[in-house]
Amino acid sequence: MRLPLQMPRGLVFASSIWLFGSWLLTIGVRAPIQSSAASYVPGVRVLILLTLLGVVTAWPMLRLSQVARIRPCMQSLIDLAAIMAMTQIVIWPLRLVTNWPVERISLLTAVIAGWGLLVSAILPLGTARSSGTSRLLCMFLVLLLTLGGSLAWWVAGQVSSSDVSWMATLSPFTDVHHTMSNGQEQVAAGQWNHVIVLWIVAAGLWSLPAIDLAAARRRHDGQV
């Protein structure tokens, strides 16, 4: 059994619960005793990291635990669009409680969207199949993509005396954390160059599900 292309209503509902729960855990409904931008920044950073966790980990786990899709590539892109719309509702209002400039918020949303696009390219490789092994391998690939860079950065920092700070951009969590550092300052040109490279890599990674889909169609035509 394969599910047809659907609007991700359940995903939007689950995302709303995730984001609302993250907001309650990090910022809550009561203002700090000494309310200021500096008092909100730690909670805002954790909120954004929890939002990122939902994009790059919880979303793949949800989709890979469901029935296979007839049009996995299109479903993945629709899911991504819905999730990115939800993250905008969370991230942009944070300017009300921080002193981050508009360009910093724009950079942050672009980085999160770039990593989301990377994950969305991997999902069709698993959601196109009903095989549990294929789905486990797909989830392993997602975890390797999201956590492997952080581990490599930490190990390199322990064994190397040279500057390895650039390796922080190899993982979504350290990448976003680095983007939020000194959030009140203006964005450097090199940070936008990194976003461009991230989006190019993500677009290139979409060649994998495209090739896989073309191969599946050839196999189907050969059987017919």
Query: Is the predicted pLDDT of residue 198 greater than 90, yes or no?
Result: yes
User: What would the pLDDT profile of 118-176 be if each residue is shown by its tens digit?
Assistant: 999 999 998 888 888 889 999 999 999 888 888 887 787 777 767 667 777 888 999 99
- Whether the predicted model's global pTM rises above the 0.85 cut: yes
Give the least confident one: 2-6, 13-17, 40-44.
2-6
At 16, the pLDDT band (50, 70, 90 cuts) reads: very high
Mean pLDDT in residue range 182-202 = 86
Query: Is the predicted pLDDT of residue 219 greater than 60, yes or no?
Result: yes
Residue 3 lies in a domain: no
Residue 2 lies in a domain: no
Residue 120 lies in a domain: yes
pLDDT at 39: 79
Residue 189 lies in a domain: yes
The residue that leads in pLDDT, 33 or 154, is 154
List, in sequence order, every residue forming a beta bridge with 3; answer none if it has no partner: 69
Mean of all residue pLDDT scores within the chain: 86
Query: Is the predicted pLDDT of residue 224 greater than 60, yes or no?
Result: no
Instruction: Dig out the tokens for 152 from the structure.
Output: 């490599």
Nearest to 147, CA basis, from 217, 60, 66:
60
Report percent pLDDT > 70 for the chain: 92
The residue that leads in pLDDT, 35 or 170, is 170
The residue that leads in pLDDT, 56 or 167, is 56
Query: Is the predicted pLDDT of residue 55 greater than 90, yes or no?
Result: yes
Residue 87 lies in a domain: yes
CA 61 from centre of chain: 13
Query: Is the predicted pLDDT of residue 181 greater than 90, yes or no?
Result: no
- Domain of 90, in residue numbers: 9-223
Instruction: Dig out the tokens for 150 from the structure.
Output: 């952080």
Nearest to 180, CA basis, from 121, 74, 94:
94
Nearest to 108, CA basis, from 194, 40, 220, 33:
194
At 197, the pLDDT band (50, 70, 90 cuts) reads: very high
* Most confident listed range (24-33, 192-201, 208-217): 192-201
The residue that leads in pLDDT, 169 or 217, is 169
Residue 29 lies in a domain: yes
Residue 4 lies in a domain: no
Residue 214 lies in a domain: yes
Query: Is the predicted pLDDT of residue 1 greater than 80, yes or no?
Result: no
Judge contact between 11 and 82, C-beta under 8 A.
yes
The residue that leads in pLDDT, 117 or 210, is 117
Please count the structural domains in the chain.
1
pLDDT at 151: 84
